[in-house]
Amino acid sequence: MENIAADWTSLPEGISSESLWVTLHDGHLESIVSDLAAGSITLTFLVEYVARFHQLPGGTRFILRFEGVSSVRAISSFPFPAEPIIPAIATKEEARQLRQKYDPKWREQSVDWGALEEQLRIYEESIDIYNVELARDSDQVAMKLDGMLWDEKAYREAFYRLFIRANTVQFSDTNGGDYDLDQFQELGGRYWEAFGKRAPNDAH
């Protein structure tokens, strides 16, 4: 547990954050669905290696549903206008490396939340997860999510940081499974414990 970042606005002092890295790292945020009337937001994650380890049915997704949502915010790193020259035969990884020197010249800017939801839905894109953090007390929860979104049209990645403030969060999967926070963390914890015992060349 680490002290909550100052960028998490208006949280009471003394609240600390807990990382969900153990279960969601290297997963994909496939959809964000807001229900303004119900005051809820549903995040759907694909984390294939965790689902496969627990022998869940193919296509299983993990769900974080926030109730009593009071605020949302999204920011992205905006690229420097001058683009590096990317050879037509460059792989995605080679293109990434060529663009690394431009990263310090990027700037952060706000992102329209509704447009982001639509982008994931219409273009079937997903945000590759670096980390997700939760901060909670008895009557509120805050989430911070960091990840990368690949833009096929611009042939580049952009860093995204999402924030949600709500009253509660619920954890489940698309097979009807429900989890509390400890159980959700255990999904990944058991995988990484087993992973640590594998041969060095084993992958997900």
Q: How many domains does the chain have?
A: 1
Distance CA 39, CA 33 (A): 11
Chain segment 126-180, per-residue pLDDT in tens: 999 999 999 988 888 999 999 999 766 556 678 899 999 999 999 999 999 999 9
Q: What is the largest CA-CA distance in the chain?
A: 54
Any idea of the CA torsion for 104, 110, 112, 117, to the nearest 10 degrees?
A: 50
Inside any domain, residue 199 = no
Distance CA 179, CA 53 (A): 17
| N residues, the chain | 204
Inside any domain, residue 73 = yes
Inside any domain, residue 203 = no
Inside any domain, residue 202 = no
Inside any domain, residue 136 = yes
**Containing domain of residue 98, as a range?**
15-192
- 27 contacts 129 by C-beta, under 8 angstroms: yes
With a pLDDT cut of 90, the percent of the chain lying above it is 59
Inside any domain, residue 198 = no
Distance CA 121, CA 119 (A): 5
Distance CA 125, CA 149 (A): 8
Distance CA 129, CA 29 (A): 7
Inside any domain, residue 3 = no
* Residue whose entry in the numeric block shows the structure tokens 């299983």: 60
Inside any domain, residue 183 = yes
- Helix, strand, or coil here: 33? strand
How many alpha carbons lie under 13 Å from residue 162 in its C-beta half-sphere?
24
Is the model's pLDDT at 199 over the cut of 80?
no
Chain segment 51-95, per-residue pLDDT in tens: 999 999 999 999 999 999 999 999 987 666 566 667 788 888 887
* Token pair in block for residue 10: 């208006």
| Range of weakest confidence among 106-110, 113-117, 127-131, 175-179 | 106-110
Would the pTM of this model clear 0.85, i.e. be above it? no
Q: What is the DSSP string of 41-82?
A: EEEEEE-HHHHHHTTPPTT--EEEEEES--EEEEEEEEPPSS
How many alpha carbons lie under 13 Å from residue 11 in its C-beta half-sphere?
27
